[in-house]
Amino acid sequence: MSIADSIRKLQKELPENVCLVAVSKFHNDESIMQAYDAGQRVFGESRVQEFISKKKTLPKDIIWHFIGHLQRNKVKDVILNASLIESVDSERLLQTIINESEKLKIKTRCLLQIHIAKEETKFGLTQVECENILSNPKYRKNKFIEINGLMAMATFTDDESVIKSEFKAMKDFFKSMKMKYFEGVDSFSVLSMGMSDDYMLAIECGSTNVRIGTSIFGVRS
Ligand SMILES: *Cc1c(COP(=O)(O)O)cnc(C)c1O
């Protein structure tokens, strides 16, 4: 299927309240423009240099989500260029984002990335670490960041029951954080989960933001 057809298929298939992030890492400007011309506006990138150089040449109305592991010395570049950082995976990184945003006098929107997968290789906070952040007014009511929700990646496995139980656990955790710390606060409303192989399952389990690369652009080389 062409990139444009994949976008149109997803636009039809996804519920209206779900944001489609087209994950364009490793793909060139031409591929991104095919998705753009089919109406896609939200794109996800995971490497800082690649993201910055693409953003320079591509249309200005693209909304960029940063979805990769972010080193603290590259925070400034990313907060100046991304609409949302989906992958805040440590308290130290969050603090750096606050400090850099304060210097620039901007407010940076971000999601806290939770580690739910079995693999050690995936980044993320434990639920306890996440709650320590959210329960702290210094972060929750900060002038320089806005925590919009949570992000997670499921275990890489063919066993749907494992993936489903991880997504369900995330939904429950999200709901409990919302109730405890953001009751009636609309800005905390994003639950980012689901990629090419598991996005339908993720949506069934309450995802509001899916990050899809391979199903749109093909396999990355
Ligand atoms: C690469 C990546 C995706 C997209 O994965 P696909 O399987 O290609 O859809 C989603 N989320 C994150 C955090 C990624 O790094």
pLDDT for position 221: 82
The predicted-structure confidence for 11-24, as pLDDT tens digits, reads as follows 999 999 999 999 99
Residue in the block written with tokens 């591509």: 58
Our mutation pick for probing the ligand 1 site, out of 6, 14, 19, 23, counting the most ligand atoms within 8 A of Cβ, is 23
CB 167 within 8 A of CB 207: yes
CA 119/CA 166 separation, integer angstroms: 13
The b-or-e profile of 93-112 (16+ CB within 10 A means b, else e) is bbebbbebbeeeeeebbbbb
CA 14/CA 118 separation, integer angstroms: 28
Indicate yes or no: pTM above 0.75: yes
CA 117/CA 166 separation, integer angstroms: 7
What are the structure tokens assigned to 126, written together? 């434990």
Per-residue pLDDT of the chain (221 residues; tens, 9 = 90+): 999 999 999 999 999 999 999 999 999 999 999 999 999 999 999 999 999 999 999 999 999 999 999 999 999 999 999 999 999 999 999 999 999 999 999 999 999 999 998 887 778 999 999 999 999 999 999 999 999 999 999 999 999 999 999 999 999 999 999 999 999 999 999 999 999 999 999 999 999 999 999 999 999 98
Ligand 1 pocket check for 157: Cβ under 6 Å: no
CB 49 within 8 A of CB 68: no
pLDDT for position 117: 82
The CA-atom distances, in angstroms, between 106 and each of 49, 62, 86, 201 are 21, 19, 17, 36
pLDDT for position 24: 98
Q: Specify the ligand 1 atom closest to the Cα of 23.
A: 4
